[in-house]
């Protein structure tokens, strides 16, 4: 057996160990080189990202101000601009807000449902033309939607002569255009996520007598909640901020969406109301921020889930 250390030897041993740990401990300068610069860059990026938001919010509180007169953040504070949004009968902001929620919400729900159906078919079923269909979805997305504006408008005009409730000037017509434009990319993104769900679960459910419908609604959709949330969020943000299609298809002022309606506050060369526009932008961003915060736990897993297996 080894001889036990005496008290003096133990003290010497502890002192030597503490000295060695002190020598190994990195200095303040070394710690700064290793970690502090990362925090400095992160803080700078955060300030760069937050400043435009603070500027818009400050401008929305500057009653009667101009674009260049709002450079001093929170120099004046008032809610007059927000009141002006709802007091102007020629610019029905409340109607625009409701229209945006209807169009964007309907598009998000419809896009999630249709994309999930198509992605499930491509992922779980084997049929003739499956690979050609997937390739077609990708190729169609290569062409910008701007190229189809004339064709979309002409098509809706012809449809409106037969079915007036879904032609130009209707919210349903705009929703159908949005659904068709986003179906390809959303389907392919959801298809990649569905491939990460083990097919053994489907086989076990089929042994128990489950049909494709029961498997899809009872199991796949629950497991695919992250990607459904991501598709819904992206669809809502994209349609609520779209200007070009909504401006072409919607005709009546009371039927317009927020992106088109708010443009009227700054389009007049001699009567530009930038601060009122800023107030409207703040209110328009509220549903998007709320939806993002509600779905944030699904976003990361939904975006990277389809990258593992295609």
Alpha-carbon distances of 273 from 68, 85, 252, rounded to whole Å: 12, 11, 21
Residue 241 has pLDDT above 70, yes or no: yes
pLDDT for the residue 261:
92
Whole-number pLDDT of residue 107: 94
Task: Look at 152 and 181; give whichever has higher pLDDT.
Answer: 152
Residues, the chain, total? Answer: 310
> Which letter does DSSP use for residue 34 in this model?
I
- What pLDDT score was predicted for residue 259? 92
Assign 25 to helix, strand or coil.
coil
Task: Count Cβ atoms below 10 Å from residue 263 Cβ, excluding itself.
Answer: 13
Distance CA 46, CA 132 (A): 44
Domains of the chain with CATH codes: 92-305 (1.10.3720.10)
Under DSSP, the state recorded for 68 is: G
Q: What pTM was estimated for this model as a whole? A: 0.80
- Average the pLDDT over each of 123-127, 198-202, 285-289, 295-299 and give the range with the smallest value: 295-299
Q: What is the mean pLDDT of the chain?
A: 83
Neighbours of 36 (CB within 10 A): 12
Q: Where are the alpha helices (DSSP H) in 93-224?
A: 93-124, 130-141, 149-162, 171-194, 199-207, 212-215, 221-223
Round to whole Å and give the CA distance between 25 and 295.
43
CA dihedral sign of residues 19, 23, 25, 29 = positive
Q: Give per-residue pLDDT as tens, 158-215.
A: 999 999 988 899 999 999 999 988 888 888 888 888 888 888 888 888 888 888 888 8
Average pLDDT over residues 277-297: 89
H or E, element range at 52 = helix 37-60
The predicted pLDDT at position 23 comes to: 59
Q: Whose structure tokens read 């919400």? A: 105
Query: Model confidence at 292, in pLDDT bands (50, 70, 90)?
Result: confident
| SS3 label, residue 257 | coil
Question: Tokens 């939806």 map to which residue?
Answer: 291
Does 98 score more than 90 pLDDT? yes
pLDDT tier, 76 (very low <50, low <70, confident <90, very high otherwise): confident
Spell 47-78 as b/e; 16+ CB within 10 A means b.
eeeeeeeeebbbbbbbbebeeeebeeeeeeee
Tokens read off for 134? 């997937």
Select from 144, 230, 128, 250 the least CA-distant residue to 189: 230
Q: Nearest-CA neighbor of 244 among 258, 264, 233, 259?
A: 259
Q: What H or E segment, with its residue span, contains residue 240?
A: helix 225-240
Closest CA to 84 of 260, 271, 279: 279
Residues 6 or more apart in contact with residue 115 via CB below 8 angstroms:
182, 183, 186, 187, 189, 190, 231
Coil, strand or helix: which one is 53?
helix
- What whole-number distance in Å separates Cα of residue 66 and Cα of residue 77? 14
Give me 298's structure tokens. 């699904």
Least confident of 2-16, 160-174, 217-231: 2-16
pLDDT of the residue at 4: 60
- Residues whose CB falls within 8 Å of the CB of residue 291, separated by 6 or more in sequence, listed in order: 233, 236
Residue owning tokens 């079915």: 163
């Amino acid at each position: 057996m080894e001889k036990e250390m005496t008290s003096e030897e133990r003290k010497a041993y502890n002192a030597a160990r503490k000295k060695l740990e002190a020598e190994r401990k990195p200095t303040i300068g070394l710690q700064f080189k290793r970690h502090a610069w990362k925090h400095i860059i992160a803080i700078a990026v955060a300030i760069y990202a937050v400043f435009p938001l603070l500027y818009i919010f400050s401008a929305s509180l500057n009653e009667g101000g101009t674009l260049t007169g709002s450079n001093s953040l929170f120099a004046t504070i008032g809610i007059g601009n927000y009141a002006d949004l709802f007091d102007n009968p020629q610019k029905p902001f409340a109607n625009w807000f409701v229209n945006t929620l209807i169009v964007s919400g309907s598009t998000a729900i419809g896009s999630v449902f249709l994309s999930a159906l198509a992605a499930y078919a491509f992922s779980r079923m084997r049929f003739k033309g499956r690979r050609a269909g997937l390739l077609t979805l990708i190729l169609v997305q290569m062409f910008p939607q701007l190229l189809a504006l004339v064709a979309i408008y002409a098509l809706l005009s012809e449809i409106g002569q037969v079915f007036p409730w879904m032609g130009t000037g209707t919210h349903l017509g705009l929703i159908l255009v949005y659904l068709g434009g986003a179906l390809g990319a959303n389907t392919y993104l959801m298809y990649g996520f569905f491939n990460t769900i083990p097919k053994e679960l489907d086989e076990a459910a089929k042994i128990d007598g489950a049909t494709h419908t029961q498997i899809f609604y009872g199991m796949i959709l629950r497991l695919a909640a992250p990607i459904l949330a991501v598709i819904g969020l992206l669809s809502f943000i994209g349609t609520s901020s779209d200007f070009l299609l909504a401006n072409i298809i919607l005709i009546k002022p009371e039927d317009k969406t927020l992106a088109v309606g708010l443009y009227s506050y700054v389009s007049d060369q001699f009567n530009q109301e930038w601060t009122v526009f800023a107030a409207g932008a703040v209110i328009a961003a509220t549903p998007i921020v709320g939806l993002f915060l509600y779905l944030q736990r699904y976003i990361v897993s939904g975006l990277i889930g389809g990258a593992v297996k295609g």
